[in-house]
């Protein structure tokens, strides 16, 4: 499914897939497909991202230093989504000594508070070498 070296089909911005059958059954504001399985304007999509968080040497201020990157980028990649889309981000913690949690500033976690990324408050940390999958519906843009 993932073809590029940064783990996504389209060069780092994630793949866009139509909502699958399993989402129809979940309810609670999840995107759904009509019976014929086609997407129409205004219906949610599933946006998949695969992120590898690791240390790399970069020169953000003209001096080479060790920084934390996501797929080799600092700052990390942009998530592109529309209202009603389901965002799925698989995060691999390749940091050697640090725990990890992603906090989604400005994204309301209605129905998914455990994906808010506040380590020790709403979720356990992603330990070094572990992978965690965040999944939430964008309810407003």
pLDDT tens per residue, range 66-105: 999 999 999 889 998 999 999 999 999 999 999 999 988 8
pLDDT band at 3 (very low <50, low <70, confident <90, very high): very low
Check whether 64 has a pLDDT greater than 70: yes
Q: How far is CA 108 from CA 7, 57, 112, 113, 139, in A?
A: 26, 33, 9, 9, 7
Burial class (CB in 10 A: 0-12, 13-18, 19+), 35: exposed
CATH class of this structure's domain 15-137: mainly beta
Report the distance separating Cα 76 and Cα 125, nearest Å.
19
Check whether 7 has a pLDDT greater than 70: no
For the chain, domain boundaries:
15-137
């Amino acid at each position: 499914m993932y073809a590029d070296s940064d783990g996504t089909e389209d060069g780092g911005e994630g793949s866009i897939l139509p909502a699958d059958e399993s989402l129809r059954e979940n309810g609670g504001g999840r995107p759904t497909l009509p019976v014929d399985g086609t997407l129409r304007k205004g219906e949610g999509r599933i946006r998949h991202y695969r992120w590898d968080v690791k240390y790399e040497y970069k020169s953000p201020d003209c001096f080479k230093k060790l920084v934390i990157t996501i797929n080799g980028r600092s700052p990390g990649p942009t998530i592109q989504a529309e209202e009603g889309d389901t965002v799925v981000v698989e995060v691999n913690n390749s940091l050697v000594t640090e725990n990890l949690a992603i906090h989604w500033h400005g994204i309301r976690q209605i129905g998914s508070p455990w994906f808010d990324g506040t380590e020790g408050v709403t979720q356990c940390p992603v330990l070094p070498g572990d992978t965690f999958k965040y999944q939430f519906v964008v309810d407003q843009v």
